[in-house]
Amino acid sequence: MAHIENNADLLNRAIETFNSVSATLMQYYSTLEDKVKLLTEEVDHKKQLLDSILDSIDVGVVFFDRDGIVRIVNKAAENMLKIDAGSVIGGISIHASIKEEVIVPENGRPFYALVSRLDVKGRDGDIIGHVLIFKDITRLKQLESESERNRRLTAMGELVMKIAHEIRNPLGSIELFASLLSNDLKGTDHGDYANRISGSVRSLVNTLDNMLRFTKEIKPRLEYHCLNDVIRETCDDFKELFASSKIQIVFFENGIHWLSLDRGLIRQALINILLNSVHAMPGGGTIDVRIQDAGDSGEIEHRHNVRCVGITVKDNGAGMDEEIRSRMFEPFFSTKDRGTGLGMSITASIIKAHKGHIDVISEAGKGTEFMITLPITGLENEAVKELL
């Protein structure tokens, strides 16, 4: 009987010990669960932080594990390679090829890139994979190309300007002698030939003037001049230049207008506009040139409450469509095979340098009208009083 009681006590103590150990294990397990939960949250937080950092940079990042399986693709890599991360993660390809400095996406445009491939090591120093890092430098390449192009253009421009200066002087002599011959032989066939030579030389000199002015800032030398006289003389020169053609130039003037201006620059601006009109009328036509107070025309308005003089040059030539009209004053834009594309750009710069404004109205097949406004500061009126 005593033996049975001893066994019962041993069993009870074993059960108590088991319960105690079980409680301790449960406590350890609960503690372990809490630690695992905290570690999991910490890992998730770090992963989210890593993902946020990778997605915030403009450098493409692709991570491959040691077996060559894609594990990470950031947003920049998705955008540059035109891929969806979900479609490549778990695979062995990023659907793009790399040739020297150029990355060629399977479904996108090739682009220049700086590319690095680096091994990724674990804490024990073993290689656990590799990362591909690349940055789009297409814009940088374009800027380098533009810089080189501008350098060459600058060098070429300097050479052209030197040549233009050298050519301009003998051209002036040719024009002078051709004009003298034209006057001596007036009314004869030879006189007409001399006149054509003179006109061609004038056109070439004007082209050289445009080139020379384009290379430097336009700074008008302002003096008081009668604008009517400047326009009339320019129109008369063109009448003589195109005397044998079917082009008629008519000058209308309303009032006498004295302005502070650079006579040579204004004359060149008018020549460029008239040449544009002449080229638009290969079969002949009429060019109407008008000068008037800006308030006398419904098309030319006062600007910023400053009294202005208005000049209009209207032809009945081929006209322009909207695309050509919108690019009319861009440098180097020309519809002529041999045009420099500088004439109208220089004209706009000249008018702007005089604090004026130039507009153009044109429609294909219906001619073109240029409208210039030049401001009157009020000092011109005092100058006119003195002259009178």
* Shared-domain flag, residues 275 and 379: yes
| Final residue in a domain of this structure, among 75, 104, 136 | 136
* Strand order through the sheet with 368-375: 247-253, 285-293, 308-315, 368-375, 357-362
* Shared-domain flag, residues 319 and 257: yes
pLDDT value at position 372? 92
- Kindly report the CATH number assigned to the domain that includes residue 279: 3.30.565.10
Pick the more confident residue, 104 or 200: 104
The model's confidence at residue 310, banded by pLDDT at 50, 70 and 90, is: very high
* Shared-domain flag, residues 149 and 130: no
* Shared-domain flag, residues 152 and 242: no
Residue 60's domain comprises 48-136
pLDDT at residue 125 is higher than 60: yes
> Is residue 32 included in any domain, yes or no?
no
pLDDT value at position 243? 65
> Is residue 162 included in any domain, yes or no?
yes
| Final residue in a domain of this structure, among 136, 158, 186 | 136
- Residue 187 token pair: 């009314």
pTM: predicted TM-score of the whole model, two decimal places: 0.51
Give the best-scoring range by mean pLDDT among 45-54, 202-211, 344-353: 344-353
| Final residue in a domain of this structure, among 136, 157, 191 | 136
pLDDT tens, 252-272? 988 889 989 988 889 888 988
Q: What are phi and psi of 55, to 5 degrees?
A: -80, -15
The model's confidence at residue 387, banded by pLDDT at 50, 70 and 90, is: very low
Q: What are phi and psi of 170, to 5 degrees?
A: -65, -30
> Is residue 6 included in any domain, yes or no?
no
pLDDT at residue 207 is higher than 70: no
> Is residue 5 included in any domain, yes or no?
no
The model's confidence at residue 232, banded by pLDDT at 50, 70 and 90, is: very high
* Shared-domain flag, residues 294 and 182: no
Instruction: Identify the weakest region by mean pLDDT among 56-60, 297-301, 373-377.
Output: 297-301
- Kindly report the CATH number assigned to the domain that includes residue 88: 3.30.450.20
pLDDT tens, 16-74? 777 777 778 778 777 877 787 777 777 677 777 777 787 778 889 999 998 889 988 88
Separation CA 380–CA 227 (nearest Å): 11
pLDDT at residue 172 is higher than 60: yes
pLDDT value at position 300? 43
pLDDT value at position 35? 81
Q: Which of 55, 74, 84, 51 is nearest to 132 (CA)?
A: 74
pLDDT tens, 71-112? 888 898 888 888 888 888 888 888 888 887 888 888 888 889
* Shared-domain flag, residues 208 and 114: no
- The tally of domains found in the chain comes to 3
